[in-house]
Copies of this chain bind each other. A is one copy, B any other.
C-alpha cells in the first residue's frame, strides 16, 4: 500500500517536516531501503547511515537534524516505525476462504470471515472466532476454542480442548496442549499420571516456531495476555505465566512454575518445578532456577543455580583471580614458615 508522508504522519500522529507528498510504501533498514521505504533513527549515532540511505522519509526523535529528508517527529521513533510497518505492510494472509481440502467437522463452529488453509483438520465441537486464519496442516482438536483475529501459521497442533483467546499468533510447528510429563513410579514401572487439565493462551500472545505448551495435569496451564514466547520454548503442565512476559528461545519452564507479569527471560534459561518468578524479574540467559525457589519482584538473576547478578559478577571476578589468591596464600605460607626473622629483616 502506498501512502504519502503526510498521510503517514496523520496516522502516526506525528509532526512532519519536508515533502508531504513523498510516497511511502514500505519500511526497511537504511542500507537496503529504496526511496519509498520508511527508515528510523533513534539516536544521533544513527544519523549518518540515515543520511546516506536512499530512503526519503525518516522517523526521528525531536531535537535531531537530518538534511534532505522528509522527517516524521516521534517521541518513540522505533514504535512509530513499527506501527507504520503494520499499516503499510499488513501481514500477508495465512489462508483465504475455506480451502476445499480442509477437513472440518460438521459440529465445529466457524464464525464469519474465518479462513482455513489446505489440509487443515478441525475436529468435533471446535469453535473458531471471526477473522481467524488457520494455516495449512493445522490440527484443531476436539472442542478446542480459538478467539477472533488469531493467526495460526501452517502446521500448528492444538490438542483437544486447548483454548486460545483473541489475536493470538502461533508459528509453524507450535504444539499447544500436549500431555505433561508426569508419572507415578511403582514396582519398577512408571504409570502415567492423569494429564487431563486445561491450557489457555490469552489475548495477544505470540508463540514461536516449534514451541511446546503442555496442558495442565489436573489444573490449567495459562499464558497471560500480551506475553511473547520465542522458538523452541518448553512450558510444562500447570505453569501460570502472567501478562506481558517475554521468554527468549529454548527456555524451559518445569511443572507448576508461577511466573508474574513483565518478566523477561534470556534464552536457554531453565526453571525447576514449583519456582515462583515475581513481577518484573529478569532471568539471564542460561540461568537455572532450582525447584521451589522464588525470584523476587524486580530481581535480576544469573547463573546456575541462579543468584543476583551483582553477586554473580563478584563471584565470577574472584573466580578469575583464584590463581592469584593461591599464589598469595603460598607466599604467606613461606613467610610464616621462615618465621618472624624474615619479616624482621624486611622491615
A interface list, Cβ under 8 A from B: 26-29, 31-32, 76, 78-79, 81-83, 85-86, 89, 92, 99, 101, 103, 117-119, 121, 135-137, 139, 141-142, 153-155, 157, 159-160, 169, 171-173, 175, 178-179, 181, 183-184, 186, 188-194, 196-197, 204, 206, 208-210, 212, 214, 218-219, 226, 228, 230-232, 234, 236, 244, 246, 248-250, 252, 254, 262, 266-268, 270, 272, 285-286, 288, 303-305, 311, 314-316, 318-323, 325-326, 328-329, 332-333, 335-337, 339-340, 343-344, 347
* A289 vs chain B, min Cβ distance (A): 9
With a cutoff of 8 Å between Cβ atoms, the chain B residues found around residue A244 in the complex are: 188-190
With a cutoff of 8 Å between Cβ atoms, the chain B residues found around residue A154 in the complex are: 121, 139, 141, 157
Number of copies: 3
- Given A82-B184, A339-B344, the answer on whether A252 and B250 have CB atoms closer than 8 Å is yes
- Contact indicator B285/A268 (Cβ below 8 Å): no
A160 to B89 Cα, complex, angstroms: 14
A173 to B170 Cα, complex, angstroms: 15
- Contact indicator B121/A121 (Cβ below 8 Å): no
A310 to B212 Cα, complex, angstroms: 34
With a cutoff of 8 Å between Cβ atoms, the chain B residues found around residue A314 in the complex are: 323
